[in-house]
Amino acid sequence: MTLLLAGDIGGTKTILNLVEATTSGNKAGTALKPLYESRYSSADFPDLVPMVRKFLAEAAPQLGTTPLPAKACFAIAGPVVDGASKLTNLSWSLETHRLSQALEIPQVSLINDFAAVGYGVLGLENADLHTLQSGTPHTDAPIAIIGAGTGLGEGFIIHQAGTYRVYGSEGGHADFAPRTPLEFQLLRYLIERHGLERVSTERVVSGQGIVSIYQFLRDRGIAQESPEIAHAIQIWQQEMGKSEKTVDPGAVIGKAALDRRDPLSEQTLQMFVELYGAEAGNLALKLLPYGGMYVAGGIAPKILPLLTDGRFLSAFGSKGRMSPLLERVPLHIVLNPKVGLIGAALCAARLAG
């Protein structure tokens, strides 16, 4: 058994977890046994090091011994280049060699948070997933990951030399490809409203995308805007540029749609789900992920009833003469919110040492 430290680091909160890792015959090749977990406000610490020291000190009485992790991996909400990362919403500058020395952990790795999701899907159980389409799975075929949250992440996994290798991408920044007259109007609306030369898929398939679609439908007079949603968007606009936000208009719109108490929000989420499904289908066409496609990210579990009413799957598979190919793709929605933390632990287990 190997003691691992996994972390999911964001600008607002950080979750740290101690786990025991043992070799397993599962897809990940590793079984994880959680030992101790805690959550911290990232802004309360000047750096990751004092946070980890506090975490290990708090874990000691719970475990009956001072934990000495052999390996650690931290998933970062931002780019990681040559083992270093500077967080967008924090004044933290992290570097693997410094962290290893300061924390006395022999092996330390930093990975992008969506790469961590890629590792994490390898360690999920059936209960962590909602299957939209069983498909015809093939063990050696590529695996695709797509996840809408603050932005739109896309990545893939390749089975190679008896193991799985995770790769990130910037597919979310590819061009938005409208399919219907209404979607073409949305494209023109965004170009004119924001003075853009092009519109990325992330601008419509993400939390900000929900707000953009809502504003587009509102300005077209599709339905009357409710005072509640108008107030949420007003506060959000006033807080633009501030590090601390008090309202998430995308979440407010999504909740109103789920509760079926606001027609404009309902139509917004219907359009969003169709765009999400279409982009998942685009990624599937490029990869043919018969090893499975996993829809992750923070939005999917929150709007599960809207993803399972047939719209998402219809848009996913509506690819003309290529549609039969996508019927074979196993399509799953990730329900476990800690998939990134699981992935960081699995990545730590792979570190040499």
Q: How large a percentage of the chain has pLDDT more than 70?
A: 98
Computed over every residue of the chain, the mean pLDDT equals 93
**Residue 245 has what pLDDT?**
78
> Mind listing the pLDDT tens digit for each residue in 307-319?
999 999 999 999 9
Mean pLDDT along residues 72-92:
87
Q: What is the SS3 string spanning 226-241? A: CHHHHHHHHHHHHCCC
Q: Residue 155, Cβ neighbours under 10 Å: how many?
A: 26
Cα of 129 vs its chain's centroid, Å = 14
**Residue 253 has what pLDDT?**
96
Q: What is the pTM of this model?
A: 0.91
Nearest-10 Cα torsion for 345, 349, 351, 353: 130
With a cut of 80, say whether residue 27 has pLDDT above it: no
The confidence band for 30, taking pLDDT boundaries of 50, 70 and 90, is confident
Q: How large a percentage of the chain has pLDDT more than 90?
A: 80
**Residue 28 has what pLDDT?**
67
> Mind listing the pLDDT tens digit for each residue in 245-272?
788 999 999 999 999 999 999 999 999 9
**Residue 243 has what pLDDT?**
66
With a cut of 80, say whether residue 353 has pLDDT above it: no
Question: What would the DSSP string read from start to end of 199-253?
Answer: -BGGGTSSHHHHHHHHHHHHHTTSSPPPHHHHHHHHHHHHTTT-S--S--HHHHH
**Residue 86 has what pLDDT?**
86
**Residue 1 has what pLDDT?**
80
List domains and CATH numbers for the chain. 2-124+337-350 (3.30.420.40), 171-334 (3.40.367.20)
The answer to whether the beta carbons of residues 288 and 325 sit under 8 Å apart is: yes
What sign for the dihedral angle of Cα 105, 116, 301, 215? Answer: positive
> Mind listing the pLDDT tens digit for each residue in 159-218?
887 788 999 888 999 999 999 999 999 999 999 999 999 999 999 999 999 999 999 999
With a cut of 90, say whether residue 25 has pLDDT above it: no
Q: CB-based burial of residue 134 (10 Å sphere; 0-12 exposed, 13-18 middle, 19+ buried)?
A: exposed
**Residue 222 has what pLDDT?**
87
With a cut of 90, say whether residue 239 has pLDDT above it: no
Tell me, what DSSP letter sits at residue 4? E
Written as six digits, the tokens of 268 are 């917004």
Question: What would the DSSP string read from start to end of 93-151?
Answer: EEEHHHHHHHHT-SEEEEEEHHHHHHHHHTT--GGGEEEEE-----TTS-EEEEEESSS
With a cut of 80, say whether residue 241 has pLDDT above it: no
The confidence band for 77, taking pLDDT boundaries of 50, 70 and 90, is confident
